[in-house]
């Protein structure tokens, strides 16, 4: 780290009224301003952020190890993808493989022995993989494109490979930069669910239009219990509009696996719209109601634990029939809530148009909600 003339640093004049500057140092592309803040931290950031952002820098406030000095850290804003994003590409490839394998084994009823004998047989499950990844990638790219539009340093999607039942745990992005204002926070938060729902409706419609599948006799005879993925209201609405069935009287006939992509899109929409922490719902509600979002988030874990208890003790569902699902998300939402959503620099209200859009987004999410999304049935 080297000392530099403050006159040569990014817009130091923006600090003059709120920060008593002692020394300026540079470490690579970051600039450190040592001194004493004359106002609270959030006010300091709010005052200096516009000038630094115009100069192409993000700012954050910290302190020295001894705590004797305040430090304003300025770092260049990322202007896009730097080189090949190998981690994103690697996870994408791994998720394609995992969803094809799980799709072939679980949803296309290809025996494991056949896959071992000829691994290329999993390519038969490519429509399932395309449906699942199409929904998830569209959701995350909605966040990414709107984030870039607002100039926020945001990563490309990271897809997460997994095993049964879908071959993936979903996808995430990282918002590494500061949030300019509540409008940007709202737009980025709402873009994912809305884009994902459009893709979900398309995938569901395509899946319903495809011919049903016949379950092999060995799979029917060898099953005592099956896991049933119940239809969210939105799926039934799409099926009714298209005049297509979602189940058949013959137990050996089932809907095309592409429909599972639509089911996943709806289920993940519900989870993402939980109004806690860094989930989409947390960002949207933070933008809509400001810091009152923390009170909303505090209720969410209690509601989820309440759902689990109601299913188990009142409706007599087992731990495997959505009870464990809601209990797990009650625990996870408790952890997520501690971090909280992104704090925008500018706390100006988002306006009535965005407020209405937020209400509409949660209403669409409600059409994807099921009290019992998964249950075990004997056949």
- Domains detected in the chain: 2-76 (3.30.1360), 86-378 (no CATH)
Q: Residue 137: is it exposed, middle or buried by C-beta count within 10 angstroms (0-12/13-18/19+)?
A: buried
pLDDT value at 67 more than 80? no
Weakest-pLDDT range from 13-27, 104-118, 284-298? 13-27
Pick the residue with more confidence: 364 or 49?
Answer: 364
pLDDT of amino acid 8:
58
pLDDT value at 314 more than 60? yes
pLDDT of amino acid 66:
76
pLDDT of amino acid 122:
92
Q: 107-157 pLDDT, tens per residue?
A: 888 888 889 999 999 999 999 999 999 999 999 999 999 998 888 888 888
Q: 219-228 pLDDT, tens per residue?
A: 665 555 567 7
pTM of this structure: 0.86
pLDDT value at 279 more than 80? yes
The overall average pLDDT reported for the chain is 87
Weakest-pLDDT range from 3-7, 16-20, 108-112? 3-7
Q: Are 26 and 12 in contact (CB under 8 A)?
A: no
pLDDT of amino acid 22:
85
pLDDT value at 9 more than 80? no
The three-state secondary structure class of 225 is strand
Q: Residue 18: is it exposed, middle or buried by C-beta count within 10 angstroms (0-12/13-18/19+)?
A: middle
Distance CA 7, CA 21 (A): 12
């Amino acid at each position: 780290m080297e000392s530099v003339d403050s006159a040569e640093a990014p817009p130091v004049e923006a600090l003059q009224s709120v920060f008593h500057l002692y020394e300026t140092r540079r470490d690579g592309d970051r600039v450190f301003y040592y001194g004493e803040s004359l106002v609270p931290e959030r006010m300091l950031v709010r005052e200096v952020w516009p000038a630094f952002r115009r100069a192409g820098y993000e700012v954050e406030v910290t302190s020295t190890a001894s705590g004797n000095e305040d430090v304003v850290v300025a770092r260049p804003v990322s202007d896009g993808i730097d080189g090949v994003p190998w981690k994103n590409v690697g996870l994408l490839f791994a998720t394609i493989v995992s969803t094809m394998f799980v799709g072939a084994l679980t949803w296309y009823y290809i025996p494991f022995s056949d896959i071992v004998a000829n691994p290329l047989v999993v390519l038969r499950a490519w429509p399932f993989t395309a449906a699942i990844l199409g929904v998830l990638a569209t959701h995350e790219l909605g966040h990414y494109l709107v984030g870039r539009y607002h100039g926020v340093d945001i990563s490309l999607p990271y897809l997460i490979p997994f095993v049964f039942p879908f071959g993936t745990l979903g996808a995430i992005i990282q918002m590494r930069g500061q949030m300019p204002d509540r409008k940007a926070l709202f737009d980025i938060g709402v873009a994912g669910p809305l884009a994902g729902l459009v893709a979900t409706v398309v995938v569901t419609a395509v899946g319903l239009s495809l011919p049903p599948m016949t379950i092999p006799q060995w799979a029917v005879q060898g099953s005592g219990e099956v896991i049933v993925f119940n239809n969210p209201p939105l799926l039934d609405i799409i099926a009714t509009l298209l005049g297509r069935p979602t189940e058949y009287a013959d137990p050996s006939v089932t809907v095309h696996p592409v429909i599972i992509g639509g089911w996943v899109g709806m289920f993940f929409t519900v989870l993402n719209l939980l109004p806690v922490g860094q989930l989409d719902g947390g960002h949207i509600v933070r933008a809509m109601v400001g810091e009152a979002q923390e009170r909303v988030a505090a209720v969410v874990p209690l509601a989820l634990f309440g759902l689990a208890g109601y299913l188990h003790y009142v409706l007599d569902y087992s731990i495997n029939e959505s009870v464990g699902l809601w209990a797990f998300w009650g625990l996870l939402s408790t952890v997520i809530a501690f971090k909280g959503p992104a704090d925008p620099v500018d706390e100006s209200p988002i306006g009535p148009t965005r407020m209405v859009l937020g209400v509409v987004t949660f209403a669409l999410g409600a059409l994807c909600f099921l009290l019992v999304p998964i249950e075990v049935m004997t056949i």
